[in-house]
Structure 1
Amino acid sequence: MNNDEIVYSIALTQVPGIGTTWARNLINAAGSAANVFNQRKELPHLMKGITPRVVEALNCPKALQRAEKEYEFITKNHIQCFTINNENYPSRMRECDDAPIILFYKGNNDLNMPRTINMVGTRHATDYGKQICTHFLNELKELIPDILVVSGLAYGIDINAHRAALSNNIPTVGVLAHGLDRIYPSVHRKTAVEMLSNGGLLTEFISGTNPDRYNFVSRNRIVAGICDATIVIESAAKGGSLITADIAESYHRDCFAFPGRANDEYSKGCNQLIRDNKAILIQSAEDFVRAMCWDEDSQPKKSENIQRSFFPELSEEEQSIVTILEKENQQINNLVVTTNIPVHRMNALLFELEMKGIIRVLAGGMYQLLK
């Protein structure tokens, strides 16, 4: 990892008036965060819409000073930094337009595991919701041993999901709404420490950032963006978990919800999602695995060796997809991660392969190679 690129990426997040989208567009135009600063006067020739105000804003010594201080903090505390073009950056998140240009990670688990889910819900979890977390992950461990569980380390469903994952030896990552110099709420510190050895803590915020209310909405997009699917356990008619579900839908990710009784306050949100066709109703881990087509045993056996000569019209990219699908069915996010083909390009390639009668899409967004 280029240390200068880390410092300049952090600095870019600290420049007043340069938000997440602008920061990413600037990096794409200049080729790197370092170039954004060092070649800022050339930016108007590289990207439309760059005004003198933007160029002047990038002349910001305070941002660089703060970034250098943060780099000292992360080095001292053995925190990993993933810039947006780094291979360890969560590939699913990278394909989202509002992906942060840098993420800070303290932990030991791969954020690009083939199967990653998030479990979210109300901070006022009932016994019903807590039991769902426990039973769901108990079952899921038996069905899908290799999976990553993500949540927000908040009160209620979040912390219960993390603890249920740990008790089943499932790696779990907490996405924070503040820097890695603190744990909020502090009563979850013990669980957070346990997660460092089987999962980790992830954030886009530098040290010293307070857990302000608007940061939680920003945090929710990362919870949704790094996962294949969002599972809402319990929710009132309004709440952060519904925001996460909406974001997941905007990212074209699958969303699921557990139903509850019509008059239960903390089931209203889940029932609304199901009623409005924004979430698939599930009642067990088996329901979820089947909907995602992650149950390999339920899939029909495919030909062991499909040769390229059968499809002489395939491009190199199409053939790479076919080769992967020869082994097992895959979701688009897994294909993006494995092939390193951008999601917009992957969508076009999969459509072409469908039109050629080579693959078909199954429920849960799973793609299957036809015989």
Structure 2
Amino acid sequence: MNSQIHYQIAISLIKGIGPKLARNLIAYLGSIEAILDSKSRFEKIPGIGTVMAQKLRETDFVSILKQAEKEMTFVEKEGLKTLFFTDEDYPRRLSFCEDAPLMLYYRGNASLDATRMISVVGTRRPSDNGMTNCEKLIQELAVRHPGTVIVSGLAYGIDICAHRAALRNNLPTIAVLAHGLDRIYPGTHHHTAREIAERGGLLTEFMTETNPDRPNFVKRNRIVAGLCDAVVVVESARKGGALITAGIANSYSRDVLAFPGRVNDEASGGCNKLIKTNIAALIEDVDDLEYALGWESKSGGSSVVQGSLFASAETPDEKAIMEVLLAEKEMNLNLLGLQLGMPIGRLSATLLDMEFKGLVKSRPGGVFKLL
């Protein structure tokens, strides 16, 4: 048994401990093991406070370690991959989200850090038009952007439509679950889930024996939003999980796109509201998605001019950004941050300085390119 993973699972079971507090605990105490062994120094740790310190002292760490050991046995038996928030292979887009899970469990082989990842969500009771829009968009993505990963939640309606369309068009697809990997919900999607695991992946933050209870779906939605470059809402009423996912994506500074519907069409009321309130950009086809995300055909200028621009970079961050943009021609802000390993706040400030200096130009969809 891998003792490190055992302790990682254990710390993820401590109530009230998220990534920020976990980092403080690990930094102050020196290791994950020390968190589970310590009983006295919690109140001295930044961000913990007396109330949380008392809760930690009262936590039954022996019981938590036994529970983690049981989970570890399942992980090893099933050949699952565990992704702790400090691991190098933890999804980097998700790592920028303050409420990202400490631990993820993964069955599959699709990359969680693919160059292009799109979440497709919507109502559980789609119209024929909604299903057609979903299938057509994914078919067009497969033709024009092979390798794009389609993320959704395996639910009835638009979710399962998106997964199946991705499979039919040979795109990798990842289903984010609201329960443990020892079960599939809904059961009618079991066959599709098995195919997704073979050609994409099943991802969850929940341990075995976790039922798909209502609160878990909201937690699941933040992973659907955080994994991607953009969330596409195909069809949604004014209330529902798709709108929650869109709201979370917007709070993460992800692009949100929505298909419009008729004014009096209840199934499209949510999409129309997202567009009307400027949370979502209107989308009708893959052309609109490409424009919003800056996925148009790449074009570059003279190597002499680019070399001159590179010489104008003044700081190490500017030079690193220039090197990537010289190679890639243009890149979305989130992807640029992923490739550079640079926090989004610092990257945004540096890019703004570079715009003032005439080194880069911003385009729709948070895309940057060299001038």
- One fold, TM greater than 0.5? yes
Deviation of residue 367 (structure 1)? 0.8
Residue by residue, what CA displacement relative to the aligned partner does 1:300-359 show, whole Å, maximum 9, x if unpaired? 422336337853552222211111111221111111221111222222222222222211
Deviation of residue 13 (structure 1)? 2.4
Unaligned runs of 5+ in 1: none
What is the aligned partner in structure 2 of residue 321 from structure 1? 321
Residue by residue, what CA displacement relative to the aligned partner does 1:55-88 show, whole Å, maximum 9, x if unpaired? 4045521111101110110011000001111111
Q: 1:310 to 1:273 in 2, by over 3 A?
A: closer
Amino acid paired to 1:359: V
Alignment of 1:18-57 (within 5 A): 18=17, 22-23=21-22, 25-27=24-26, 29-30=28-29, 32-39=31-38, 41-51=40-50, 52-57=53-58
Amino acid paired to 1:3: N
Confirm or deny that 1:291 pairs with 2:292. Answer: yes
More off after superposition, 75-84 vs 338-347: 338-347
SS at match of 2:198: coil
What is the aligned partner in structure 1 of residue 187 from structure 2? 186
Unaligned runs of 5+ in 2: none
Residue by residue, what CA displacement relative to the aligned partner does 1:26-72 show, whole Å, maximum 9, x if unpaired? 34554653342245534433424332404404552111110111011
Deviation of residue 127 (structure 1)? 0.9
Alignment of 1:326-337 (within 5 A): 326-327=326-327, 328-337=329-338
Amino acid paired to 1:332: L
What is the aligned partner in structure 2 of residue 246 from structure 1? 247
Deviation of residue 4 (structure 1)? 2.9
Q: Distance in 2 between the 1:301 and 1:82 partners?
A: 38
Q: Check whether the contact 1:292–1:365 (CA below 8 A) recurs between aligned residues.
A: yes
Alignment of 1:161-172 (within 5 A): 161-172=162-173
TM-score (norm 1): 0.93
Identity of aligned residues (%): 45
What is the aligned partner in structure 2 of residue 302 from structure 1? 301
After TM superposition, what 4+ stretches of structure 1 lie above 6 angstroms from structure 2? none
What is the aligned partner in structure 1 of residue 365 from structure 2? 364
Deviation of residue 196 (structure 1)? 1.3
Q: Check whether the contact 1:37–1:58 (CA below 8 A) recurs between aligned residues.
A: no
Q: Distance in 1 between the 2:30 and 2:240 partners?
A: 39
Q: 1:48 to 1:189 in 2, by over 3 A?
A: closer
Q: Distance in 2 between the 1:47 and 1:222 partners?
A: 27
What is the aligned partner in structure 2 of residue 102 from structure 1? 103
What is the aligned partner in structure 2 of residue 67 from structure 1? 68
Q: Distance in 2 between the 1:288 and 1:122 partners?
A: 20
Q: Distance in 1 between the 2:227 and 2:196 partners?
A: 17
Q: Distance in 2 between the 1:75 and 1:329 partners?
A: 41
More off after superposition, 24-33 vs 208-217: 24-33
What is the aligned partner in structure 2 of residue 114 from structure 1? 115
Deviation of residue 24 (structure 1)? 5.1
Q: 1:317 to 1:242 in 2, by over 3 A?
A: same
Deviation of residue 133 (structure 1)? 1.3
What is the aligned partner in structure 1 of residue 198 from structure 2? 197
Q: Distance in 1 between the 2:364 and 2:60 partners?
A: 51
Q: How many residues align structurally?
A: 367
Q: 1:157 to 1:313 in 2, by over 3 A?
A: closer
Residue by residue, what CA displacement relative to the aligned partner does 1:147-196 show, whole Å, maximum 9, x if unpaired? 10000000000000000000000000000000000000010011011111
Q: Distance in 2 between the 1:67 and 1:229 partners?
A: 34
Deviation of residue 262 (structure 1)? 1.2
